[in-house]
Amino acid sequence: MKIIAGPCVIEDAALLDCVAQRLVDINGRLGTDIIFKASFDKANRTSVHSYRGVGIDLGLRMLADVKSKWGLRILTDIHEAWQAAPAGEVVDVIQIPAFLCRQTDLLVAAAKTGRTVNIKKAQFLSGSDMLYPYQKAQDAGAAEIWLTERGNSFGYNNLVVDFRNIPDMLKIAPTVIMDCTHSVQRPGAAGGKTGGNREFVPAMALAAKAFGANGYFFEVHPDPDKGLSDGPNMLELDKLEEVIATLI
C-alpha cells in the first residue's frame, strides 16, 4: 500500500519539518513508508492574489533538505515541461496535475527523468480515458507510472467521485491512488477560493479501498484553517495516523 502525505504547498521550513517529523513517527509505529508531498508552486490557484509557493529553486532546495534530514521519499508536481529535469534531480515521484494530464510534452518530460510518474485523472475524464496519458508516459520510457483518482466535475463548484474509475484504472496501471483530500474539494466555491468538506476524507479512503485502490493521497496540515492553499479540504495532521491505521 502506497501512502502520500504532506501540505498542499511549501509555506516555510517549519511547516515542512513539523509534517515530516509526524510522518516519520507514523512510519515507525505503523511500519509504513509514507512519501512526503509538497508543491513548490501552485500555478492553478483560483485567484491571481492567492499564495502560490516559494518557487522552483528555493522549493527544490527545501524538499532536498526534508529528504536529507528525515529520510523520506519526496513527491512534487510540475506544471511546465522544463521543470521536470530539475525536479527529477531531487524528488522520487513527479506528479502531473489533473488539469494537465493530457499535456503530451509535460508527460514526456516527466517520464524521461527516470522517476516514477504519478498522473492525476482530470476532473473531466473517465477512468478508462487514462489509458492515453498512461501510454504517453510509457512510450516516453517512464520507469513506473501511477494513476490517481480525484473526482469529477459535478455541475458548478462541486465534485463527485465515481469509484468505478478505480477498477477501470487498475486495468491500465498496477498502482491506482485515491486522492482522498482533493476529491472533497468545492472548486471556486468560497468566494475566489476553493472550498471543501474535510470531514468526508476518512470515508473517501475507505470507499476507495473497497473498490481496490492500493494507494492513498492525503494533503495534511497542523492547522488546515490557517493553511495558505487548500485549507478546507486538507486533513488535520493529528488525524492522519488514525485514518492510515484504519486502512491497514
Q: What is the pLDDT of residue 190?
A: 56
Distance CA 206, CA 178 (A): 10
Residues near 213 by Cβ (< 8 Å), separated by ≥ 6? 149, 166, 176, 177, 178
* Residue 117 near residue 145, CB atoms below 8 Å: yes
DSSP state of 47: S
Looking at CATH, the fold of the domain delimited by 2-247 is given as TIM Barrel (3.20.20)
Is residue 45 pLDDT above 90, yes or no?
no
- For residue range 96-155, what is the model confidence (pLDDT) as tens digits? 999 999 999 999 999 999 999 999 999 999 999 999 999 999 999 998 999 999 999 998
Q: How far is CA 113 from the centre of its chain?
A: 19
In the chain, domain spans: 2-247
Phi-psi region of 86 (alpha: psi -120 to 50; beta: other; left: phi over 0): alpha
Q: What is the pLDDT of residues 158-216, one digit of tens each?
A: 899 999 999 999 999 999 999 999 999 877 655 665 777 889 999 999 999 999 999 99
